[in-house]
Amino acid sequence: MSNLDIQRTGILFVISAPSGAGKTTLISSLRQKPDFVYSVSCTTRSPRPGEVDGEDYHFLSEEDFKTHIEAGDFLEYAEVHGHHYGTLKSTVVSQLEHGIDVLLDVDTLGAASIRQCPDGFIQDALADVFIMPPGLDELSRRLRKRGTESEDQIATRLRNAASEMEKWREYRYTLISGSMEEDIEKFRAIMRAERYLSHRLHLSF
């Protein structure tokens, strides 16, 4: 007649989106009321104005990045727009083992690498979400509004976006981007529901 004892393992929330789909703003908002740990990726690209080392990214030299690759330290890594991006396995696994959820922002190549990770623990923990822009027109509008890139860079991003958008089926969830408030609410619903999946729970009574 005792009360219920509830335990669960951590969930690895992976989020991908084409540039301009609103992912960065979504993640910033989620991080303001975190019930998860945000996994800070490593990158060899230069910080943009306002970006903080260790908070937005771990900014690494090409040399340091390659050392980690050779040591097999990365859960995923990829080259995008001429720069390396990667996630250190150790950081992610130690959180999940303690029942702490991890949010990880990776591109479609990074997500594909994680899906191919042979570690069953990672596969059980994984919940991947693709943020789908409401259309290429709207995406183009959002990229121009941001105003941080040249027309050439925007054209490249739109081409990449179109091919990334084809990957939505590979993700467990596809969130059609609306207003920022809607996106946050939808993503929060996914996070909550994933926590009620029976296979993640250990109950005794």
Interface contacts to its own copies, rule CB under 8 A: 1-4, 6, 129-130, 132-138, 140, 165, 168-176, 186, 188-190, 192-194, 196-199, 201, 203, 205
Question: Measured from the CB of residue 205, what is the shortest distance to its own copies in angstroms?
Answer: 6
C-alpha to C-alpha distance for 1 and 165, rounded to whole angstroms = 52
Nearer to its own copies (CB atom), residue 34 or residue 135: 135
Nearer to its own copies (CB atom), residue 4 or residue 71: 4
Nearer to its own copies (CB atom), residue 51 or residue 185: 185
Question: Measured from the CB of residue 160, what is the shortest distance to its own copies in angstroms?
Answer: 15
Q: What's the sign of the alpha-carbon dihedral 11, 40, 167, 191?
A: positive
Nearer to its own copies (CB atom), residue 52 or residue 201: 201
Q: Are residues 25 and 115 in contact, defined by beta-carbon separation less than 8 angstroms?
A: no
Nearer to its own copies (CB atom), residue 78 or residue 165: 165
Q: Are residues 14 and 128 in contact, defined by beta-carbon separation less than 8 angstroms?
A: yes
SS3 115: helix
* Type of residue found at 65: F
Question: Measured from the CB of residue 65, what is the shortest distance to its own copies in angstroms?
Answer: 31
- Could you tell me the two tokens for 196? 């009620």
Which of 7, 36, 63, 43 lies closest to 201 in space, CA to CA? 7
Question: Measured from the CB of residue 134, what is the shortest distance to its own copies in angstroms?
Answer: 6
- Could you tell me the two tokens for 64? 């340091």
E strand segments, 9-54: 12-16, 37-39, 42-43
Question: Measured from the CB of residue 7, what is the shortest distance to its own copies in angstroms?
Answer: 12
